[in-house]
């Protein structure tokens, strides 16, 4: 409370000094991210190991981190992902960073929670291509995993409920606070350049914040891709209609977070926008009916690059070895 009070006071003082842009966060459509409070450190540690463990895949080669790489903004930086046997995925891997702030998971929101999401790729034949039964059998055969699981869940019978709960608990820690934009929001006027502030003003004035708002700068609504003019794509992804079966939801996708967007290229559900410049241009045209000038586009891009926050910082997890009883991966079958 006292810290918040101090901050508010600083903001008021800054405003008094004529620093119009250093407004209180509450007046802005975007709010700063706050560092997550870890509730269950043991569960997070277990989830971290599982997140990095390729033995949850049939091949023994693909882990959660393969397509949501925490060295690379929580994405694979590919248009669409690579699955078991090098299958081409149907859609761009969204970032896992700040994903706990999403109203639902996947581009079409078909999983309501991170826990529900985590079970999907493990058993998807086009992704990790295992089954929940096999993945659990693998973990159950590894005493160090069983012991850690028991500490966290009180049972030595590993199940997919606990496994996905632990992965989700780890993912909930992947919040990226302290971006330069957040510092500016909190009153540090020097945290942004003039161009970045101008870009933010343009971003607001042009209507981008109608969808990209809140702490995650998106992630909190489904919107039609192609409002003013249709989006041209060879992608077969239909969006939210696949979940709701409502024709009105065709090409409605979850609005992606713009946090760390400099790191999460390429953009859109089909990954067809290779650069931020291209993404801003397309969004302006098809969503807002606006053609940004080169200068305007550059200012918005400059603002967007100020949204990169503190990346996850933890020791590379060391995975407990398989035992003689562990089912072996079958990458070439």
Residue partners of 300: CB distance under 8 A and separation at least 6: 199, 202, 203, 206, 208, 280, 292
Residue partners of 291: CB distance under 8 A and separation at least 6: 281, 284, 285
Give 63: exposed, middle or buried? Use CB within 10 Å, 0-12, 13-18, 19+. buried
β-strand pairing of 82-83 with 87-88: antiparallel
Q: Closer CB to its own copies, residue 83 or residue 109?
A: 83
Is 219 near its own copies (CB under 8 A)? no
Pick the binder of its own copies from 15, 110, 262, 288 (CB under 8 A): 262
Per CB under 8 A, the segment of 82-90, 133-141, 224-232, 242-250 that binds its own copies is 82-90
Active site residue 127: yes
Is 242 near its own copies (CB under 8 A)? no
Using CB under 8 A, which residues numbered 11 to 50 contact its own copies? none
Q: Closer CB to its own copies, residue 244 or residue 311?
A: 311
Is 263 near its own copies (CB under 8 A)? yes
Is 94 near its own copies (CB under 8 A)? no
Pick the binder of its own copies from 7, 10, 227, 319 (CB under 8 A): 319
Per CB under 8 A, the segment of 8-16, 33-41, 56-64, 135-143 that binds its own copies is 56-64
Pick the binder of its own copies from 86, 154, 205, 234 (CB under 8 A): 86
Is 294 near its own copies (CB under 8 A)? no
Is 82 near its own copies (CB under 8 A)? yes
Nearest distance, CB of residue 328 and its own copies, angstroms: 6
How many residues are present in the chain?
Answer: 333
Pick the binder of its own copies from 3, 37, 313, 333 (CB under 8 A): 313
Give 281: exposed, middle or buried? Use CB within 10 Å, 0-12, 13-18, 19+. buried
Q: How far apart are CA 191 and CA 197, in angstroms?
A: 10
Residue partners of 250: CB distance under 8 A and separation at least 6: 238, 239, 240, 241
Per CB under 8 A, the segment of 153-161, 164-172, 262-270, 289-297 that binds its own copies is 262-270
Q: Which of 127, 148, 196, 296 is catalytic?
A: 127
Is 195 near its own copies (CB under 8 A)? no
- Determine contact, residues 75/93, Cβ cutoff 8 Å: yes
Q: How far apart are CA 217 and CA 48, in angstroms?
A: 26
Nearest to 211 by CA among 111, 272, 269, 288: 288
Is 196 near its own copies (CB under 8 A)? no
| 83, β-bridge pairs | 87
Classified as helix, coil or strand, 1 is coil
- Determine contact, residues 220/103, Cβ cutoff 8 Å: yes
Q: Closer CB to its own copies, residue 275 or residue 291?
A: 275
Residues with catalytic function: 127
- For its own copies, the binding residues (CB under 8 A) are 52-55, 59-61, 66, 69-73, 76-78, 82, 85-86, 88, 262-263, 265-266, 274-275, 277, 311-319, 321-322, 324, 328-329, 331-332
């Amino acid at each position: 409370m006292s810290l918040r009070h101090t901050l508010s006071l600083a903001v008021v003082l800054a405003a008094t000094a004529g620093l119009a842009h250093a407004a209180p966060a509450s007046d802005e459509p975007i709010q700063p991210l706050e560092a997550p409070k870890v509730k269950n450190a043991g569960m997070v540690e277990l989830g971290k190991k599982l997140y990095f463990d390729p033995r949850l895949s049939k091949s023994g080669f693909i882990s959660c981190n393969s397509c949501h790489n925490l060295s690379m903004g929580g994405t694979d930086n590919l248009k669409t992902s690579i699955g078991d046997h090098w299958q081409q995925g149907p859609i761009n891997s969204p970032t896992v960073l700040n994903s706990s702030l999403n109203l639902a998971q996947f581009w079409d929101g078909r999983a309501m929670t991170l826990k529900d999401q985590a079970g999907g790729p493990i058993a998807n034949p086009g992704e990790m291509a295992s089954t929940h039964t096999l993945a659990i059998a693998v973990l159950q055969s590894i005493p160090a995993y069983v012991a850690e699981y028991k500490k966290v869940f009180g049972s030595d019978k590993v199940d997919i409920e606990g496994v996905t709960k632990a992965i989700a608990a780890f993912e909930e820690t992947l919040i990226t606070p302290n971006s330069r934009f957040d510092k500016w929001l909190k009153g540090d006027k020097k945290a942004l350049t003039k161009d970045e502030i101008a870009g933010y003003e343009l971003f607001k004035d042009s209507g981008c914040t109608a969808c990209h708002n809140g702490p995650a700068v998106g992630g909190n609504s489904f919107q039609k891709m192609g409002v003013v003019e249709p989006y041209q794509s060879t992608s077969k992804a239909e969006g939210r209609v696949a979940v709701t079966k409502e024709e009105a939801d065709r090409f409605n996708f979850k609005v992606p977070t713009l946090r760390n967007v400099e790191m999460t290229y390429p953009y859109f559900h089909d990954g067809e926008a290779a650069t931020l410049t291209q993404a801003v241009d397309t969004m302006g045209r098809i969503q807002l009916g606006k053609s940004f000038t080169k200068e305007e586009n550059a200012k918005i891009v400059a603002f967007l690059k100020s949204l990169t926050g503190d990346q996850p910082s933890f020791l590379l997890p060391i995975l407990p070895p398989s035992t003689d009883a562990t089912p072996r991966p079958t990458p070439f079958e």
